[in-house]
Amino acid sequence: MNIFLAGATGSMGQKVVHLLSDKDGYDITGILTNKENINPTEYGLSSDVQAFTSLDSIEGDYDVWIDFTQPNIVFENVKYAIEHHISPIVGTSGLSEDEKKELIRLADSKKVNGLIAANFGLSAVLLMQFAKQAAKYFSDVEVIEMHHEDKTDSPSGTAIHTVDMMSENKRGANINQEDEPARGMYYKGVPIHAVRLPGYVAHEQVLFGGPGEALTIRQDSFDRESFMQGVWVALEKLPEFHGLVDGLENIL
């Protein structure tokens, strides 16, 4: 399986390089990076890996496109992959619902399989599942997500996806109103509070409140290595996908 890794020189990309370094049959043969004239071996890659700095310059044949880049370029990256019949596995957040729908339609028309995951951490996926269940019974909920200071999108894709999943079951509206100050950004009627601080990696709390009781669901990713189990599951199960799947929970 020839793999194209977009964002190979970033922190998440480097984790993917390490993940696949000892996996037989999974070869990173091309990368997309914003660094000019890099030496692939300095990033744990084979010396014959082709490095590209723009979509227009990409050459070669690839089976899978793994994307850990930036929100401002992920849509065009994934669109390029699908149009060139490369199966995308996308860990970059920032895709809007309309963009996801467009990519899913494009993948269907091109008969390309792939995955968009708001979070590859299994604890995060479980948090979303538990929050979805709890939303049946608590109408009042708020989300706090905490990430490292370099995360460019806010709120996080994980928080957005959490609310999307809860909204499938949530029966009542939050008691608080969107015109109240200091309530975070409202998404589908749910306040999401985003924290960006050094020392954090990726953490989320979903807080439910009811008469005389409260429920808090929390997950913590202390190391980016925690996301690699989900990436590996996606690679292994890719042949079983049907079209472009949105959410790691749908393949576990």
Task: Quick: pLDDT tens for 53-75.
Answer: 999 999 999 999 999 999 999 99
Which tens digits make up the pLDDT trace of 177-225?
Answer: 788 888 899 999 999 999 999 999 999 999 999 999 999 999 999 999 9
Which tens digits make up the pLDDT trace of 116-140?
Answer: 998 999 999 999 999 999 999 999 9
Active site residue 100: no
Please tell me the predicted confidence (pLDDT) of residue 206.
98
The answer to whether 199 and 191 are in contact (CB under 8 A) is no
CA pair distance 157, 90, nearest whole angstrom: 12
Domains of the chain: 2-112 (3.40.50.720), 122-222 (3.30.360.10)
Which tens digits make up the pLDDT trace of 76-102?
Answer: 999 999 999 999 999 998 899 999 999
Please tell me the predicted confidence (pLDDT) of residue 137.
96
Q: Which of 252, 217, 248 is nearest to 118 (CA)?
A: 248
pTM given for the model: 0.86
Please tell me the predicted confidence (pLDDT) of residue 110.
97
CA pair distance 207, 165, nearest whole angstrom: 15
Catalytic residue from among 79, 85, 111, 151: 151
- Token readout for 140 is 């009042």
Active site residue 85: no
Q: Which residue has the higher pLDDT, 22 or 67?
A: 67
Residue type, 204: E
Catalytic residue from among 15, 18, 110, 147: 147
